[in-house]
Copies of this chain bind each other. A is one copy, B any other.
Amino acid sequence: MKASPLTVASIVEAAADLADATGFDSVTLSAVARRLGVRSPSLYSHVKDRDALLEGVTILALTELASRVSVAVAGRAERSALEALADAHRDYARESPGRWEALQRPAGEEAARSAGARDVVALTAAVLRGYPLPESEHVHAVRFIGSTINGYLRIERNGGFAHSRPSAAVSWHRIIDALDAALRAWPAPSEGERP
């Protein structure tokens, strides 16, 4: 009586759910196998090793995140789009903390080249359309936005804002404001800063 046929996708999904439920670090092959009602060596027919499984979760998370961001920024521009982008990240981190954690680990080749990764970058770049930045500056601005959003969520999640006032929620809006201001006042590259 096989409830489910045990595929790569079902294993990765179980791992992702487990990560959300009990933390990314608790995603062990044993635990995933238990959750699937199977013995852990059985997973090796479908997944190379633990690292490959975690990379699978990363790719899944990238896909899901790209999808959410895509919906969020559709039909918006400038500050509204920026805020939607940031909030999509934050919502995802809140609702799927384990999956989001998977985005924070060194990206393997496959994850780096995945459609999700490409889409997240492309969607971030799309937000820049409304801002007065030369095309050549888009790479840097994308990295800037990505760094800030990611860094903020990580510090918030790590409890770095928990011990000071005001609450992290207030800063979040101020930081989107600041990002918006930075994009509007984007500095011209000085000598030697041009690619």
Residues of A near any B CB (own CB < 8 A):
104-107, 112-113, 121, 137, 139-141, 143-144, 146-152, 154-155, 157-166, 168, 170-171, 173-175, 177-182, 184-187, 189-190, 193, 195
Contacts and interface: CB of A to CB of B under 8 A. Distances in A.
A151 B146 contact: yes
Contact of A106 (B112, B159, B168): B159
B181 A187 contact: yes
Contacts of A147: 147-149, 151-152, 154-155, 175
Contacts of A195: 165-166, 170
Interface of A is mostly: helix
A103 B18 CA distance: 25
Contacts of A185: 181-182, 184-185
A137 B178 CA distance: 11
Stoichiometry, as copies per complex, reads 2
A189 B139 CA distance: 28
Contacts of A171: 139-140, 143-144
Contact of A151 (B107, B150, B190): B150
Nearest to A112: B163
25 contacts: A104-B154, A106-B157, A107-B158, A107-B159, A107-B160, A113-B163, A137-B174, A139-B165, A140-B174, A140-B175, A143-B155, A144-B171, A144-B175, A144-B178, A147-B148, A150-B151, A150-B155, A151-B152, A151-B154, A174-B189, A178-B186, A181-B181, A181-B185, A181-B187, A182-B182
